[in-house]
Structure 1
Amino acid sequence: MARRRGPTLADIAQATGLSVATVSQALTGKEGARIAPATVERVKEAATELGYVADATARSLRTGRTRTIGFVSDQVTVTRFAAAMVRGLLDAAEQREHAVMIAEVDSQPERMERAFDAMRAHRIDGLAVGLMADREVQVPPRQGREPRVIINGLADQCHAVLPDEQPAGRAAVEHLLGRGHRRIALIGRHPVPPAPEVSATIGARMEGIDAAMREAGLEFAAEHRGGLWEPELGREGAARVLEAAPDLTAILAANDRVAFGVYQELQARGLRIPEDASVMSFDDEELASMMRPALTTMRLPYREMGEVGASLLLDALASGADLSAGRTKIPLELVDRASVRTL
């Protein structure tokens, strides 16, 4: 039995009374085609009514493009914290009528190389690499002129989209200062600045924090250092800074998980947040909104980084220009909740 064919350009042309060439140009948005917007709308309505679906293979052979970008994820697709990056990338690609092919590599170099090969085998037009933790990574050598972007990290031959951490560190301190706090403790500075392979931006966050304190003519009332940003560091750090500076009014934690540990220690001591001590941090994990009181924090812009990364790729593809190995920085947003009081 013969398979029933779907509607064709000729069917749309017959339904609209236009030529096949005009219908094709209206549906593909061919650059330089002088077709009235009303005509384009009429063609698209007819295509929808007839159930027309463009032949992606034929279009690829004709244009040399698959209208597909690749996204190689390092723990992004399996992490709720960073999954907004994927959502932003998918939304930006959909708005430009591109599909996204996704592979998860889980920090294994050989898997990343296989993922790159698989993407190229499917003739993707551009390639994005997304990292859950911002750091410098090695990626397979570039082949041809395929545009590349790395989201939340650094890599050779890739344009980098990064969180703008230095202004975020400054903004966090300025928020506390603006609420009248001067006796501020810091928990989570690394004992030794981390290598780029560990973090590409945390040093900038600390630079912003230190700059804001210095410009205010202040020093931290107390500090507790540590590189493993988990609740235990927050619990231990809160105990130490309270012993060193019992008159502190605010604690700035390195991230939300550290802040969670700070909450535990303060509440175990019968101290109220923010009445007895204000707490602020960075990242805006889902955890931050669930804590009681809800945590004031600087939100990492995962969704925006995904959107911008996809847009950079698609802009490069549309213009034919090379995507240089520069950097695009995305601001962090202050999420002002209930854990910081005004003195």
Structure 2
Amino acid sequence: MGMPPQRATLAQVAQRAGVSRSTASFVLTGRHTDMRISEDARHRVMRAAQELDYRPNLMARSLRTKVTKTIALVSDTIASDPYAGRAIHGSLAAAVSHGYLLFIGETEGDPVVEQKLISDFLDRQVDAFVYASMFTRHVRLPKLLRGQPVVLMNCLTRGARPTHHAVIPDEADAGHTAARIVLEAGHRDRIYLVGDPADHVFASRERLTGIRDELAAAGTRLAGTVGCHWWPDSAYDALCRALADGLRPSALICLNDRIALGAYQGLHQAGRAIPGDVSVVSFDDSELAAWLRPQLTSISLPHYQLGWHAVQALVGETADAEVRRLPMPARLRASVGAPSRAASP
């Protein structure tokens, strides 16, 4: 295999254009107007650069300026998750818009892998880090990142005051939204939660708080909870048992779309129509929501916006550390309707 062609140098561009090296540098870095360089000289430099296929040596520039225009995104499993991949797209879009490259490293939750990844990124002199989590949770920032420019994406550090910028979904407001959708459709009682409202799970805790607060403000409350794991088969089994035992819900608020899938199957098994007999609302707005029939009303996780705003906080003008909660928009579809009189006890 032959050797790769030599890169054209700035000196070669200057020689071909018949100008000094500094003049060529000023033209190619966009500073020609400040230096009062003639239009003719500028055109000669640009033509020479094009003919020689000149590209600036970014590595050499980074050694001079100590800025590499690179960002590292370090995550647990976000890069390989089909839905959260949109967070990568948002991060990339923001990075590109500011002229940055984005490196992506996935740890799968292994602290040894994480330490190695961060060390490698530091060796490559990345300018800043996005530290990301697949599920919203509290994290302990790795020691290697302390003192580095870092924005947390979909995670938080513990403490009364935030130590770093963090960008997370506004799960509590999403809970308010889900309950409001049910209330505005006319449901006032027999509203059940489906899922395990585990207090140690951030999304569960925040969503449930929002649901309860919104219902309380309307003078009502949840009629109960159909407890299950956050997977279709568990939700199906739990709802089938509850319906067989006489449960007659007017509306179900499912803690995620996978639970809603199991709930759909359980209601179908029991001969209950959606939304004719039972309305269903969910969270996440995964692809499942649009695939189900009828299509599922779901509160969307703002994956793309999380990525965009995390990188934007790194490269933009940032004030003191703060937690930014991004809105979760409702995707209104066909699974919600008015209460059924036939469902009344």
TM-score with structure 1 length normalisation?
0.84
Contact kept in structure 1, 2:91 and 2:310, CA below 8 Å? yes
- Structure 1 pair 139–48 and aligned structure 2 pair: CA distance change class (3 A): farther
Paired with 1:300 and 1:94, the residues of 2 have a C-alpha distance of: 23
Q: Deviations over 1:1-32 (max 9, x none)?
A: 996444444566688898754654565467x9
| 1:186 aligned partner | 193
Counterpart residue identity of residue 62, structure 1: R
Paired with 1:45 and 1:212, the residues of 2 have a C-alpha distance of: 63
Q: Deviations over 1:210-265 (max 9, x none)?
A: 11000000122332234x31113322343355467754321110000000000010
Q: Does 1:212 align with 2:218?
A: no
Contact kept in structure 2, 1:222 and 1:241, CA below 8 Å? no
- Structure 1 pair 286–51 and aligned structure 2 pair: CA distance change class (3 A): farther
Contact kept in structure 2, 1:6 and 1:52, CA below 8 Å? yes
- Structure 1 pair 181–33 and aligned structure 2 pair: CA distance change class (3 A): farther
Contact kept in structure 2, 1:27 and 1:43, CA below 8 Å? no
Counterpart residue identity of residue 262, structure 2: G
- Structure 1 pair 202–158 and aligned structure 2 pair: CA distance change class (3 A): farther
Contact kept in structure 2, 1:93 and 1:99, CA below 8 Å? yes
| Equivalent of residue 59 in structure 2, options 53, 57, 60 | 57
How many Å apart are 1:57 and its aligned residue? 1.0
- Structure 1 pair 99–242 and aligned structure 2 pair: CA distance change class (3 A): same
- Structure 1 pair 85–112 and aligned structure 2 pair: CA distance change class (3 A): same
| 1:326 aligned partner | 322
Gaps of 5+ in 2: 340-345
Paired with 1:147 and 1:303, the residues of 2 have a C-alpha distance of: 21
Paired with 2:223 and 2:245, the residues of 1 have a C-alpha distance of: 8
Q: Does 1:298 align with 2:299?
A: yes
- Structure 1 pair 35–279 and aligned structure 2 pair: CA distance change class (3 A): farther
| Equivalent of residue 165 in structure 1, options 164, 168, 171 | 171
How many Å apart are 1:44 and its aligned residue? 11
| 2:183 aligned partner | 177
Identity of aligned pairs, percent?
33
Counterpart residue identity of residue 323, structure 2: R
Q: How does 1:10-21 map to 2 (within 5 A)?
A: 21=22
Secondary structure of the equivalent of 2:99? coil
Paired with 1:329 and 1:27, the residues of 2 have a C-alpha distance of: 41
| 2:96 aligned partner | 94
Gaps of 5+ in 1: none
| 1:126 aligned partner | 128
Contact kept in structure 2, 1:72 and 1:105, CA below 8 Å? yes
Q: Does 1:269 align with 2:270?
A: yes
| 1:339 aligned partner | 335
Paired with 1:160 and 1:136, the residues of 2 have a C-alpha distance of: 11
Paired with 2:46 and 2:331, the residues of 1 have a C-alpha distance of: 43
Paired with 2:45 and 2:305, the residues of 1 have a C-alpha distance of: 31
Counterpart residue identity of residue 172, structure 1: A
Paired with 1:144 and 1:247, the residues of 2 have a C-alpha distance of: 54
- Structure 1 pair 234–43 and aligned structure 2 pair: CA distance change class (3 A): farther
Contact kept in structure 1, 2:256 and 2:284, CA below 8 Å? yes
Contact kept in structure 2, 1:273 and 1:293, CA below 8 Å? yes
Name the count of aligned residue pairs. 328
Q: Deviations over 1:56-113 (max 9, x none)?
A: 1111111101111111121111110211111111111111111111111001112111
Counterpart residue identity of residue 89, structure 1: S
How many Å apart are 1:310 and its aligned residue? 0.8
Counterpart residue identity of residue 338, structure 1: A
- Structure 1 pair 19–277 and aligned structure 2 pair: CA distance change class (3 A): farther
Q: Which has the greater radius of gyration? A: 2
Contact kept in structure 1, 2:289 and 2:298, CA below 8 Å? yes
Paired with 1:15 and 1:245, the residues of 2 have a C-alpha distance of: 88
Q: Does 1:255 align with 2:261?
A: no
Counterpart residue identity of residue 181, structure 1: H
Paired with 2:311 and 2:44, the residues of 1 have a C-alpha distance of: 29
Contact kept in structure 2, 1:154 and 1:160, CA below 8 Å? yes
